Chains A and B, each alone.
Chain A
């Protein structure tokens, strides 16, 4: 039986042609058809002890939702997903499945794992376009009020979970649109913003209040929220403080942080200028510094904004690049060049303060450092120049102190991240939980969601039983 099933190849997601998509902002993978989804769902062996579920940070009932798809009941599949995950359309798109659910799939041992991410995305998309507009059911009201600070992936997860358990939830967001990194960071071509809006609308239908344009720490503090009658608070404000490299010329016009570059493009829709008012520089020769997913998003965005050439400059080698393989592959298909073992040392500009180029050093890899990665070392005398008119610095981000400095009894580590219990998300402050990038430093969407899930369970316990 199992042997026979393995003979069906894993489905291949249809995609926009690289030569076309590198100049538009439409989503790259086009999604599965119903037939493709059913065929792929039938590859699942329906394991009694499914390893895939263990690989999922929010423990989605994977074989069960896949069974629904195999049976052609797509609506039931979506409902099964909702039981554990309020944001399946997002997760199906941005999770690194190869390291999580799909990495554990038994079919992956001999052949290719079931395309769990594609199927999750399929079920969620199907429900959004063909569904009844139903939302996950919520329990009877408990009368408890929870403030969720930040509407990124972890905050939305906490909100969804606590709503299901019957609590009143208000989400506070500093920007004018909810979604956090899902709306300002991850580009339209990877995660269409209508999907984020739809998932947020689901939470609103479940009863969530969303207060945008509210900067906790500036507009109102955590303590003031408690004084307003909130019973508990979750802090999921992310790691929104860009790191620069502190190199000469870094303040030249044309040097952007990835946060600014992506916020202007995605949240403010600078790519639609002048229909939208926010301008974004359209570089001809673009260099992106860094090699994580944010760097790939920036490079692919620059290509879509009409660049002649886009180079990713990284001080280590291909093997150490932190971006997902799929993202690297997509970037390469879109003619992004990789300049590896290369480190910038300064930027040059003209008399108007506009960037004209940069100087780099070639690197070689030495002994492994504390992180286990081989340490890049400069090769003396290897200086060379790259002409460029736009540089995006995507070398990571730190914790933003806006909230924490106005909440003095919140314990922080030396980097300014909030210290919270790794299992429950409890902080040093009574009735306050924290999770996601503000705790871990910049990490992934699904890890933030996993932290949200754990915190929501702990908060529910507190709200019903006490600390």
Chain B
């Protein structure tokens, strides 16, 4: 169990896709839900939202960017090797309904999280416009899958290497000016979700965001993932990870995500150094 059956490097060796054997989880999982993974016994528990599931094969797919020691350890797992722990599906599923015109905004690896949600919204009969953003076109993931999961697709790159030269928020603004949008789903880095929510708030368009706070157990027993939503404390692992973007205190979330920045750096530096010595 938790064996990696397929592995792909989606972008410049920093964005990795793993398809993992997990029959029970793949049968149960719904769009918006996440899993907790641990590379080995001394590893830490990391939450990742599922990018796809295949109940018939009994597998789930995760996509992550290598940003620290734990994701570096994930990167170093080969096909045929197993994760030490894989737990899920966790969190509340996305509420999917036919509501009309929907805009799905994805940034970076947030596109992986957005993909099953966009697909489900399209399948439910909504007209889906997707707006995808990345630093540069080489880092853009799941373009084809997102094209299939939407009716209209916009690409934005910070460096102008493809599509709109600039942020997803520019295209979102234009779209909501032109059309009568019933729902916006925004998933990506915190500043992106924050500014998408600010833009839609002016027009009163319902906006869902998927939050990525620090988690330990992922089952509601520690409160490490707590976020302020509408002035109340919520646990993202059981009450979320999706929340009303107009209610979320993004600044607090951003600060809490920096809780361990210093020690995380120590940890990844030590790991990379030790890998160099071994080679």
B125 on the A face (CB < 8 A): no
Question: Which chain A residue lies CB-closest to B227?
Answer: A251
CB atoms of B255 and A353 under 8 A apart: yes
CB atoms of B45 and A260 under 8 A apart: no
Measured CB to CB, the closest approach of chain B to A3, in angstroms, equals 53
CB atoms of B42 and A220 under 8 A apart: no
Checking B86, B89, B263 against A274 with a beta-carbon cut-off of 8 angstroms, the contacting residue is B263
CB atoms of A279 and B223 under 8 A apart: no
B233 on the A face (CB < 8 A): yes
Q: Which of B8-38 contact A (CB under 8 A)?
A: 24-25, 28, 38
CB atoms of A259 and B88 under 8 A apart: no
Q: Which of B206-256 contact A (CB under 8 A)?
A: 216-217, 219-224, 226-228, 233, 238, 252, 255-256
Report if A251-B252 is in contact (Cβ < 8 Å); known contacts: A220-B24, A279-B263, A352-B258. yes
A309 on the B face (CB < 8 A): no
Checking A219, A242, A253, A279 against B89 with a beta-carbon cut-off of 8 angstroms, the contacting residue is A219
* A234-245 to B contact mask, C-beta < 8 Å, 1/0: 000000111010
Checking A263, A273, A400 against B216 with a beta-carbon cut-off of 8 angstroms, the contacting residue is A263
* A315-337 to B contact mask, C-beta < 8 Å, 1/0: 00000000000000000000000
B residues near A276, Cβ cutoff 8 Å: 42-44
Report if A244-B233 is in contact (Cβ < 8 Å); known contacts: A174-B217, A253-B256. yes
- Most A C-beta atoms less than 10 A away, residue of B86, B89, B222: B222
The CA-CA distance from A278 to B263 in the complex, in Å, is 10
Report if A242-B223 is in contact (Cβ < 8 Å); known contacts: A176-B85, A215-B90. yes
B residues near A400, Cβ cutoff 8 Å: 219-221
CB atoms of A402 and B216 under 8 A apart: no
A218 on the B face (CB < 8 A): yes
CB atoms of A175 and B223 under 8 A apart: no
Checking B219, B226, B258 against A218 with a beta-carbon cut-off of 8 angstroms, the contacting residue is B219
The CA-CA distance from A218 to B255 in the complex, in Å, is 30
Report if A263-B87 is in contact (Cβ < 8 Å); known contacts: A273-B267, A277-B43. no
CB atoms of A218 and B233 under 8 A apart: no
Report if A257-B87 is in contact (Cβ < 8 Å); known contacts: A176-B38, A244-B233, A273-B263. no
The CA-CA distance from A250 to B221 in the complex, in Å, is 17
Report if A219-B222 is in contact (Cβ < 8 Å); known contacts: A176-B38, A176-B85, A402-B238. no
Q: Which of A261-296 contact B (CB under 8 A)?
A: 263-264, 268-269, 273-279, 281
B69 on the A face (CB < 8 A): yes
The CA-CA distance from A354 to B88 in the complex, in Å, is 31
Measured CB to CB, the closest approach of chain A to B222, in angstroms, equals 4
A residues near B38, Cβ cutoff 8 Å: 176
CB atoms of B221 and A259 under 8 A apart: yes
A16 on the B face (CB < 8 A): no
CB atoms of B256 and A353 under 8 A apart: yes
Measured CB to CB, the closest approach of chain A to B98, in angstroms, equals 26
The CA-CA distance from A310 to B44 in the complex, in Å, is 27
CB atoms of B238 and A259 under 8 A apart: no
A-B contact pairs, 16 of them (CB 8 A): A174-B87, A213-B2, A213-B85, A215-B87, A215-B88, A219-B24, A220-B24, A220-B28, A242-B222, A244-B226, A253-B259, A276-B44, A277-B44, A277-B267, A278-B45, A400-B220
